[in-house]
Amino acid sequence: MADSTPRLRVGMVGYAFMGAAHSHAWRTAHRFFELPLTPELTAIAGRNPAGVADAALRMGWHSTETDWHRLVERDDIDLIDICTPGDTHREIAIAALRAGKHVLCEKPLANSVAEAEEMATVAREAAEQGTFAMCGFTYRRVPAIALAKRFVEEGRIGQIRHVRAQYLQDWLSDENAPLTWRMDKSKAGSGALGDIGAHIIDLAQWVTGSDIVGLSAITKTFVTERPVGGDKVGLGGTGASDGEKGPVTVDDAAAFTARFSDGAIGVFEATRFALGRKNAIRLEVNGSKGSIAFDFEDMNVLEFFDGTDDAEAQGFRRIIVTEPVHPYVGNWWPAGHGLGYEHGFTHQVVDLVRDLAAGAQPRPSFDDALQVQRVLAAVEESAEASSAWQPIEKEEGR
């Protein structure tokens, strides 16, 4: 019997690392979750004709374009999924929203606060007409992190006092690793700060339900030039041209202390130079009644300390987040069969599709992402001013 569920026809721009992850999610979501709309991989766009044709074949897209403008113009596409470097986000997202297409845009939202403000304004205007935009802070959809937020909302850890957030990688530790677009400020906006720091900023604010309102920061570039040629392959690239080097114009690491709107204080660190750490996203929140702790390198586990337990029984408990009662997990495997990195993208599609069908604003919205952009900008401003304290004005309506 043919599936009579209405289609959500998707056009995606970009087909590298994020494009592959998003494609898998669009293919998978409706096969494990009951959705009011069935995603259809209608078209994929990329500048290289051979490259985009190969990507479409491998990832299951029905057609290709070599100009994203054509994707926006097509009548058979309902949503534009943006998986390109940050310098392109503003133009594509605004064009898509003004053409009446829903938008899913990878993080960080833009390369500057001004760009993000414009995108958020257009998104608000589009939402009034029933067209919605969402930013892809995918780690919100990791079941253990979603469970952590649930515990905070239920009051299990009481009033929040401390937040500690780290994102540690090591793929740039080798000073001979080649130069890629991620190390070019004109394309990426910033380095470890925007690439991975944006994630822990979003997670800390989302889990706690409180915005960062001020901070003091430092940033550091450890390797100031690298071999060129890295954009030809992979996340960090392999190999490079003979002897030629180019400048690294972004930070390699960023760290800052912060104050939250509810009075809590926070410590943040993002680096791509933590040798031995591959994708360690760590979040710990301490409250008046208990604590939660998470590390993505053990992503199916949430540690929880209940300060109301008897003294003889106190200690962090290790919750294996694979039970059907845990967020998202009931649609997957039997208890004890862990999920992986790709599942967060599938859950993102699930939440997005359900919100679109209900005519509801998907989260994180562009306004949520704008708040993260303001924090990123404040970190750079503070670092440039010898770690001077930088206040962040709270967005009206947040």
Asked if pLDDT for residue 379 goes beyond 90, the answer is yes
CB atoms within 10 A of CB 248: 21
User: Is residue 395 very low, low, confident or very high in pLDDT (cuts 50, 70, 90)?
Assistant: low
Compute the half-sphere exposure of residue 295: CA atoms within 13 Å on the CB side of its CA.
9
Query: Mind listing the pLDDT tens digit for each residue in 187-214?
Result: 999 999 999 999 999 999 999 999 999 9
Query: Mind listing the pLDDT tens digit for each residue in 340-351?
Result: 999 999 999 999
What distance lies between CA 231 and its chain's CA centroid? Answer: 21
Mean per-residue pLDDT for 327-337? 97
At 397 the pLDDT is 54
Q: Give the three-class secondary structure for 3.
A: coil
The dihedral over CA atoms of 55, 59, 61, 63, expressed in degrees to the nearest 10, equals 20
User: Is residue 302 very low, low, confident or very high in pLDDT (cuts 50, 70, 90)?
Assistant: very high
Whether the model clears a pTM of 0.85, i.e. scores above it, the answer is: yes
Query: Mind listing the pLDDT tens digit for each residue in 113-163?
Result: 999 999 999 999 999 999 999 999 999 999 999 999 999 999 999 999 999
Asked if pLDDT for residue 394 goes beyond 80, the answer is no
> What is the phi-psi region of residue 243: left when phi exceeds 0, alpha when psi lies from -120 to 50, beta otherwise?
left
User: Is residue 234 very low, low, confident or very high in pLDDT (cuts 50, 70, 90)?
Assistant: very low
CB 178 within 8 A of CB 238: yes
CA atoms of 139 and 47, how far apart (whole Å): 29
Mean per-residue pLDDT for 300-306? 98
Domains of the chain: 7-139 (3.40.50.720), 145-335+367-391 (3.30.360.10)
Query: Mind listing the pLDDT tens digit for each residue in 70-87?
Result: 999 999 999 999 999 999
CB 45 within 8 A of CB 66: yes
Mean pLDDT of the chain: 95
CA atoms of 398 and 391, how far apart (whole Å): 16
Mean per-residue pLDDT for 37-59? 97
272: which residues sit within 8 A by CB, 6+ positions away?
Answer: 169, 170, 171, 172, 173, 191, 192, 195, 196, 252, 253
At 230 the pLDDT is 58
Asked if pLDDT for residue 63 goes beyond 60, the answer is yes
CA atoms of 377 and 189, how far apart (whole Å): 10
Asked if pLDDT for residue 235 goes beyond 50, the answer is no
DSSP string, 68-116: HHHHHH-TT--EEEE-S-GGGHHHHHHHHHHTT-EEEEESSS-SSHHHH
Query: Mind listing the pLDDT tens digit for each residue in 245-258?
Result: 999 999 999 999 99
At 229 the pLDDT is 78
Q: Which tokens is 369 given?
A: 């992402």
At 4 the pLDDT is 83
* Residue in the structure block whose two tokens are 């959500």: 8
Asked if pLDDT for residue 375 goes beyond 60, the answer is yes
